[in-house]
Chain A
Amino acid sequence: MTTELSDAEKRKLLRERRQQKFSNGGASNRLNKITGQQQSSFLTSKSVLDEAKPASPVSKKQTNLNNKEVEASTKEIQDLLSRIPDNNSNSEPDVGETNPEVALFQQLLKMQQQGGGFPNSGSPGTSTPDLFSSLLNNDTSTTASASQLFPNFVDEEVLRYYKSTVSKLKSYIILLKWAILVPYVYFLVHPNLTILNSSSLVSHLLERSNFFSVFTAMEVVFISIYYQMLKKLQKKNNVTATQNAGGILKYLTMIPEGILPIKNVQGKIGLALEYFDVASMYVTDICLALVLFGVMKYFHSSSSISVPTEAPVLQAN
Chain B
Amino acid sequence: MDLTVEPNLESLINSSTHRWIFVGGKGGVGKTTSSCSIAIQMATAQPNKQFLLISTDPAHNLSDAFGEKFGKDARRVTGMTNLSCMEIDPSAALKDMNDMAVANNTQGSGEFSDLLQGGALSELTGSIPGIDEALSFMEVMKHIKNQENGDGDKYDTVIFDTAPTGHTLRFLQLPTTLSKLLEKFGEITSRLGPMLNSFAGANNVDLVGKMSELKSNVEKIREQFTNPDMTTFVCVCISEFLSLYETERLVQELISYDMDVNSIIVNQLLFAEYDEGESCKRCQSRWKMQKKYLDQIDELYEDFHIVKMPLCAGEIRGLNNLRKFSQFLRTPYDPVADSKVIYELEQQD
Contacts and interface: CB of A to CB of B under 8 A. Distances in A.
B3 A48 contact: no
Given A7-B11, A57-B183, A129-B253, A18 B296 contact: no
A291 interface: no
A129 B1 contact: no
B303 interface: yes
Given A47-B252, A48-B256, A58-B183, A137 B166 contact: no
DSSP class of A's interface residues: helix, strand, loop or mixed? helix
Contacts of B292: 37
Contact of B169 (A15, A22, A37, A129): A129
Contacts of B183: 57-58
A3 interface: yes
A231 interface: no
A57 B182 CA distance: 12
Interface string A100-138: 000000000000000000000000000011001100110
B300 A33 contact: yes
A30 B1 contact: no
A22 B255 contact: yes
B240 to A, nearest CB: 11
A11 interface: yes
B245 A43 contact: yes
B179 interface: yes
B304 interface: yes
Interface string B229-261: 100000000000100110011011101100010
A3 B3 contact: no
Contact of A38 (B179, B241, B252): B241
Contacts of B11: 7, 11
Interface in B303-346: 303-304
A193 B125 CA distance: 101
B249 A2 contact: no
B212 to A, nearest CB: 15
B1 A3 contact: yes
B303 A34 contact: no
Interface residues of B, number: 33
A13 B2 CA distance: 11
B50 interface: no
A15 B262 contact: yes
A244 B96 CA distance: 64
B249 A14 contact: no
B139 interface: no
A56 B179 CA distance: 11
Interface string A6-45: 0110110111011101100001001101110110010100
Interface in B244-301: 244-245, 248-249, 251-253, 255-256, 260, 262, 292-293, 296, 300
Contacts of B251: 22
A4 B251 CA distance: 29
Contact of A10 (B3, B180, B300): B3
A49 B249 contact: no
B1 A83 contact: yes
B150 interface: no
A260 interface: no
Contact of B262 (A14, A43, A57): A14
A41 B253 CA distance: 21
Contact of A15 (B1, B179, B249, B260): B260
B152 interface: no
A56 B244 CA distance: 32
A49 B255 contact: yes
Contacts of A35: 245
Contact of A14 (B5, B170, B256): B5
A311 interface: no
B123 interface: no
B67 interface: no
A3 B11 CA distance: 21
A34 B244 contact: yes
Contact of A31 (B129, B228, B249): B249
Nearest to A87: B3
A251 B204 CA distance: 73
Nearest to A41: B241
A200 interface: no
A84 interface: yes
Most central of B245, B253, B262 by chain A CB within 10 Å = B245
B302 interface: yes
A253 to B, nearest CB: 18
B79 to A, nearest CB: 32
B336 to A, nearest CB: 29
Contacts of A140: none
A21 B252 CA distance: 11
Nearest to A45: B245
A260 B248 CA distance: 31
Contact of A2 (B1, B245, B303): B1
Among B1, B5, B244, B260, residue most surrounded by chain A Cβ atoms (within 10 Å): B1
14 contacts: A2-B1, A3-B1, A11-B11, A11-B228, A33-B296, A34-B244, A34-B296, A38-B241, A43-B245, A48-B253, A49-B252, A83-B1, A129-B169, A133-B170
8 cross-chain pairs, A with B, having the tightest CB-CB distances, nearest first: A132-B166, A18-B303, A48-B256, A27-B252, A34-B245, A14-B303, A17-B303, A47-B252
Interface of A: 2-5, 7-8, 10-11, 13-15, 17-19, 21-22, 27, 30-31, 33-35, 37-38, 41, 43, 47-49, 53, 56-58, 83-84, 88, 128-129, 132-133, 136-137
Given A27-B252, A37-B293, A37-B296, 17 more contacts: A11-B228, A14-B5, A27-B255, A31-B245, A31-B252, A34-B300, A35-B245, A38-B241, A43-B245, A47-B249, A47-B252, A49-B256, A56-B180, A58-B179, A129-B253, A132-B166, A136-B166
